[in-house]
């Protein structure tokens, strides 16, 4: 919890102090209300009492009850406000931190777990903070005032209360011992259920194509059953708390009246004393119940807070450099670059060296798994090279501020990704102040003529992931988004694969004219897409096995010739 309180600001501590002060007033008034009840009973047991005598005490009791009600409402408002504010700050911190993660950190946690930690775990911390503030302040105050009252009343009745209090503590400690270890397991089971659900929803087409609904349902059922069993165990244990507490409270009340009857018979105490003592004892029991509930509630919040702190305390592998400006040259150079994924034994890329000058088009081709996409992911620093240097405009990419580096790039990923909103908002993702003219030009270059047929044009709604567009349409919109930015370097990671040959050729022709002053990096599977590149680099099993023009490689490079022949045969067929 220390890490949580470190996030508190001065005004938050003032709010907590105010809540504590109000809780002290509330619990003190509750004890005084019981004292007034004794005065009320004394009036009733007085011979020849009048209604005015009852109302004199009754109005005081009504006034105190109203004041207690107002205090409780105000305390709830303040604690709700403070816990919601802290939860908001936590969510913001987690979101910002996750945005700074490289692919390796995201893979370490998994997307499903990050979503759970950003939502469910933050909600758990919020609820825990709100409840614990009330209980943490109320329990000791109530225990102090109630114990003070009962110790000043009667020793015999005090020992009765202590006996039942011991029984209550044994029951509560047993429940804590059984339930606390399950909270951590509960959150992990929630992660697992989220993972299965997310995979099923994102891959629903594949599931249906292979008639794998039963297989996915069985996976979900297993995760759901495991979570349900853990929840049932926790809930069954906790369900014993309320009836057990009621049983102890009623038995204690009955015993106090039973012992009190003997004391009344011996004229040791009077009836108002016995009645008020019972109420004080109830408050002692309730205060210890609050303390125990804190020990049950807080550990669950601590488990969630630890999971959040795992994100916030993770060292980011891709760190900001210091260079904020450099000459817009557009050169790219790899110097003896090797790369292997974290915890991997073998390198994915080995000893890669090349240089692309401003205005050149450089392409990468090779079989699946040869390291093409991994190589260009080193340019925007989605990963950092394990060995060697990647230089942009003659400066190591690690020396740039990430914002500066990525401002130089127009990146189109292998998997076209659109965001919910509309076409216009997706285009402005790369350039917020893009004009309508710039957007129209970019869409024209990217061959997005299909927009003219849409009912809403640029304001056509885009669903999450762009699922209301075809693969080819999404790729063209992603390319247009990069064009709007007008960067010095374009990076296309197999971004033409969903286009037919005619559209591909038309788009590349328009793109060549538009990007004549920019450096273009292309990863492609089809030789037709890259045959006009200034340099083509052939990769095989993470190694450079050739570099040259299409004409040179088709004559001298074995791997390139094999790819060319295989694609030519397919076209002939």
Q: Which residues of the chain have pLDDT under 50?
A: 572-573
pLDDT value at position 40?
66
Domain ranges in the chain? Answer: 2-312
From edge to edge, which strands make up the β-sheet containing 409-412? 395-396, 387-392, 332-339, 349-356, 543-548, 535-540, 361-366, 519-523, 489-493, 409-412
Contacts with 251 (C-beta within 8 Å, 6 or more apart), sequence order? 164
3-state secondary structure of 475: helix
pLDDT value at position 361?
92
pLDDT value at position 389?
93
| Residue 359 DSSP one-character state | T
Residue 269 and residue 160 in contact, taking contact as beta carbons nearer than 8 Å: no
Cα(53)–Cα(394) distance, rounded to whole angstroms?
95
Strand 543-548 relative to strand 535-540, pairing: antiparallel
Nearest to 550 by CA among 534, 539, 562, 566: 534
pLDDT value at position 337?
93
pLDDT value at position 152?
63
- CATH fold label, 2-312: ABC transporter transmembrane region fold (1.20.1560)
pLDDT value at position 1?
57
pLDDT value at position 573?
42
């Amino acid at each position: 919890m220390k890490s949580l309180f470190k996030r508190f600001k001065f005004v938050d501590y003032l709010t907590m102090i105010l809540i504590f002060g109000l809780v002290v007033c509330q619990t003190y008034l509750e004890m005084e209300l019981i004292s007034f009840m004794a005065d009320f009973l004394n009036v009733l047991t007085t011979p020849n009492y009048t209604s005015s005598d009852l109302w004199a005490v009754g109005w005081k009791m009504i006034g105190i009850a109203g004041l207690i009600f107002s205090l409780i409402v105000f305390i709830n408002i303040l604690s709700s406000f403070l816990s919601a504010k802290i939860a908001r700050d936590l969510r913001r911190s987690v979101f910002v931190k996750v945005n700074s993660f490289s692919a390796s950190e995201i893979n370490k946690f998994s997307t499903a777990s990050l979503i759970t930690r950003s939502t469910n775990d933050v909600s758990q911390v919020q609820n825990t903070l709100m409840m614990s503030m009330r209980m943490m302040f109320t329990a000791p105050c109530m225990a102090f005032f109630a114990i003070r009252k009962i110790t000043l009343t009667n020793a015999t009745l005090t020992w009765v209360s202590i006996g039942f209090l011991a029984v209550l503590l044994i029951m509560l400690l047993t429940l804590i011992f059984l339930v606390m270890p399950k909270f951590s397991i509960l959150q992990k089971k929630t992660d697992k259920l989220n993972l299965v659900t997310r995979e099923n929803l994102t891959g629903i087409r594949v599931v249906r194509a292979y008639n794998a609904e039963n297989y996915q349902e069985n996976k979900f059922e297993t995760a759901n059953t495991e979570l349900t069993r853990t929840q049932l165990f926790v809930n069954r244990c906790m369900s014993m708390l309320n009836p057990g507490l009621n049983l102890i409270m009623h038995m204690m009340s009955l015993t106090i009246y039973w012992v009190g009857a003997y004391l009344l018979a011996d004229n040791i105490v009077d009836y108002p004393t016995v009645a008020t003592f019972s109420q004080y004892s109830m408050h002692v029991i309730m205060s210890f119940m609050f303390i125990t509930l804190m020990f049950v509630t807080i550990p669950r919040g601590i488990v969630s807070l630890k999971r959040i702190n795992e994100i916030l305390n993770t060292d980011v592998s891709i760190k900001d450099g210091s260079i904020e400006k450099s000459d817009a040259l557009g050169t790219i150079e790899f110097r003896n670059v090797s790369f292997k994924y974290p915890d991997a034994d073998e390198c994915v890329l080995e000893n890669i060296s090349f240089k692309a000058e401003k205005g050149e088009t450089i392409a990468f081709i090779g079989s699946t798994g040869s390291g093409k996409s991994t190589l260009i992911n080193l340019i925007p620093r989605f990963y950092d090279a394990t060995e060697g240097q990647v230089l942009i405009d003659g400066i190591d990419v690690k020396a740039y501020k990430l914002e500066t580096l990525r401002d130089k790039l127009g990146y189109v990923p292998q998997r076209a990704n659109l965001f919910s909103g509309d076409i216009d908002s997706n285009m402005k993702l790369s350039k917020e102040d893009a004009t309508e003219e710039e957007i129209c030009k970019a869409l024209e270059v990217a061959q997005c003529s299909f927009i003219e047929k849409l009912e809403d044009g640029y304001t056509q709604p885009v669903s999450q992931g762009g699922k209301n567009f075809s693969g080819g349409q999404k790729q063209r919109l992603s390319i247009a988004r990069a064009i709007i930015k007008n960067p010095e370097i374009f990076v296309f990671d197999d971004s033409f694969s969903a286009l037919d040959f005619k559209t591909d050729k038309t788009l590349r022709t328009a793109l060549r004219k538009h990007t004549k002053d920019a450096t273009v990096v292309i990863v492609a599977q089809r030789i037709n897409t890259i045959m006009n590149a200034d340099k083509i680099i052939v990769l095989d099993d993470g190694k450079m096995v050739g570099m040259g023009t299409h004409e040179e490689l088709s004559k001298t490079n074995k791997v390139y010739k094999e790819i060319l022949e295989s694609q030519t045969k397919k076209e002939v067929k």
